[in-house]
Amino acid sequence: MSYAIIYSSNTGNTAKLAECIKHILPSDKLIYFGAPADEAMQADILFVGSWTDKGTCSPEVAEFLNGLENKQIYLFGTAGFGDSSAYFDEIEKRMAQNIPSGNVLLGYYLCQGKMPQSVRTRYEAIAQTDPKKAQPMLDNFDRALSHPNQDDLEELKKSVCNLLKKICLA
């Protein structure tokens, strides 16, 4: 079964996940690796990744997903804010809304990713007028600096390997 890994990575976090997936799967079945492109459409399974933009996938990934027909899709990505499965589930639901009917969503994996310094600067400005609101955002920013970390990559590997077991049994 052939596959493609399609992703958009604003800060390198999602690219790190894409590379991890690439190293898990057999290289001889990979037909495309990179930004959303028509060449990826030839694959049997599409691993589609994105950074989180306003609670969903990036515009270029949304456009790519909207153009899919009769594909098997695994979503992956990173989000700077939040480090909870409930938050990631909500992002996945919004990302999946871009997938037209007739396609099959095989699974997904989302984890926290570090944010650019400009975000911390914005949070620090908020702290000047509303310290109670800003402190949780600053704490989250600092926690996110090490993500995606080795634990995140191991969880991604488990998720992809579980998917491979299901596909092989089907």
Domain of residue 120: give its range: 116-146
Number of domains in the chain: 2
82 and 100, same domain (yes or no): yes
| pLDDT score, position 76 | 97
Taking Cα atoms as reference points, which of 104, 87, 114 lies closest to residue 17? 114
| pLDDT score, position 158 | 96
| pLDDT score, position 59 | 96
**Nearest-angstrom CA–CA distance, 156 and 170:** 21
Pairing of the two strands 3-8 and 45-53: parallel
On whether the CB atoms of residues 6 and 34 are closer than 8 A, the answer is yes
138 and 164, same domain (yes or no): no
**Nearest-angstrom CA–CA distance, 111 and 19:** 15
13 and 86, same domain (yes or no): yes
Return the axis-axis angle of helices 131-144 and 117-129, rounded to nearest 10°.
160
On whether the CB atoms of residues 123 and 141 are closer than 8 A, the answer is yes
11 and 73, same domain (yes or no): yes
Provide block-wise average pLDDT over 10 residues at a time, the chain (170 residues): 95 96 94 97 96 93 96 95 82 95 96 92 94 92 92 96 74
Q: Given CA atoms 24, 30, 34, 37 in this order, what sign does their dihedral have?
A: negative
| pLDDT score, position 83 | 67
107 and 162, same domain (yes or no): yes
127 and 141, same domain (yes or no): yes
